[in-house]
Amino acid sequence: MDNRPIGLFDSGVGGLTVVKQVMKVLPNEKTIYFGDTARVPYGSKTKETVTKFSEQIIRFLLTKDVKAIIIACNTASSNSYDSLVRTFPDIPIFEVITAGVESCIDATKNKRVGIIGTQATVRSGAYELGIKQRMPDIRVFTNPCPLFVPLAEEGWTDNEVAYLTAKSYLDPLLENGVDTIVLGCTHYPLLKRCISKVVGTDVTLVDPAKATAMKMRRFLETNDMLNSDGDGSRTFYVSDHTQSFDTLCERLLKQHYIAEKTDIEKY
């Protein structure tokens, strides 16, 4: 057994959707989460900048003696994962893209799927490449949805503004007959109710968070690192303290947490 915590990070509040799934799948595991709220969003930034930010955060998490790290951010996963694994070879690092790809392939019936994400994630082609490598005959349609992140960060997840924005982004995918859409940003499940209103019941929405948590569980079990009798404590750090983080954290995780502000740029 390894009672050290699991580290997770994201550009802001989106990664809390992954924390929620880790809490369900690994209830005894301690977690340490870092939200880079001072520098959100990552989706409009260059690959080099996203990688630099991610390296700083991982160095910070390593000071907390984490036993494994989940990149709870699609932009960092798609743009920086390979580099981060090379830079930090001594810590297991998991990304959310692979889980999303596998879940998407399992879900589609007509082999016409949509990918929505930040501009950087869509530009990277990571989802499309992963899907095509496993099932070449799937048709993949993509559309970046940059306004979803600020809407989620502000808590505007199910109002008229969110609905009209979602309709504008998703209608082109629906016109192409997709039966499955991957929520290719960990912020997007926060808008799931709104997105569902636009796409209807015939389209499956894939959230990679649960599959990522399951992948972490299998890894810990296989390597005798599972904490089976821990207290499941949660610790949160942010680069800038925001009210929206506290509000969404409490809403998603059903408990009040106080995030500690950290000067991430010194790492």
Q: Which of 73, 104, 145, 249 is catalytic?
A: 73
One domain for residues 219 and 204: no
Q: Evaluate whether residue 10 is within a structural domain.
A: yes
Do 10 and 36 form a contact (C-beta atoms < 8 A)?
yes
Residue 177 included in any domain: yes
The tens-digit pLDDT sequence of the chain (267 residues) is 899 999 999 998 889 999 999 999 999 999 999 999 999 999 899 999 999 999 999 999 999 999 999 999 999 999 999 999 999 999 999 999 999 999 999 999 999 999 999 999 999 999 999 999 999 999 999 999 999 999 998 889 989 999 999 999 999 999 999 999 999 999 999 999 999 999 999 999 999 999 999 999 999 999 999 998 888 999 999 999 887 788 888 888 988 888 999 999 999
Q: Is residue 1 part of a domain?
A: no
54 and 90 part of one domain: yes
- Ordered DSSP codes for 68-121: EEEE--HHHHHHHHHHHHHH-TTS-EE-SHHHHHHHHHHH-SSSEEEEEE-HHH
Q: Which amino acid is at 30?
A: K
Asked whether residue 112 falls in the same domain as residue 163, the answer is yes
219 domain-assigned: yes
Is 104 an annotated catalytic residue? Answer: no
Same domain for 164 and 201: yes
Alpha-carbon distance of 70 to 8, in angstroms, equals 5
pTM of the model: 0.90
Q: Would residue 249 show up in a list of annotated catalytic residues for this protein?
A: no
- Close Cβ partners of 230 (under 8 Å, ≥ 6 residues apart): 3, 28, 29, 30
Kindly state the tokens that stand for 45: 């930034």
In this structure, the answer to whether residues 50 and 173 fall within a common structural domain is: no
- Choose the final residue of a domain: 160, 187, 208: 208
Q: Domain check: are 113 and 138 in the same one?
A: yes
CA 214 to each of CA 24, 91, 130, 208: distance values in angstroms, whole numbers, following the listed order: 10, 18, 19, 10
Q: Of 104, 145, 185, 194, which residue is the catalytic one? A: 185
Name the domain boundary from 166, 189, 208.
208
Same domain, 88 and 143: no
215 lies in the same domain as 204: no
Does 185 lie in the same domain as 226? no
Residues 105 and 185 in one domain: yes
d(CA 218, CA 224): 10
Contact 119, 43 (CB under 8 A): yes
Count of structural domains, the chain: 2
Residue 187 in any domain: the answer is: yes
Residue 256: inside a domain: yes
Residue 14 sits in a domain whose CATH number is: 3.40.50.1860
In a domain, 36, yes or no: yes
Give backbone dihedrals phi and psi of 6, rounded to 5 degrees, phi first: -95, 135
Structural domain boundaries enclosing 105: 97-208
Whether residue 218 sits in one domain with residue 202: no
Residue 73 is assigned to a structural domain of this protein:
yes
Cβ atoms within 10 Å of 190's Cβ, excluding its own = 28
Cα–Cα distance between 60 and 17 in angstroms, integer?
Answer: 21
Domain check: are 105 and 202 in the same one?
Answer: yes
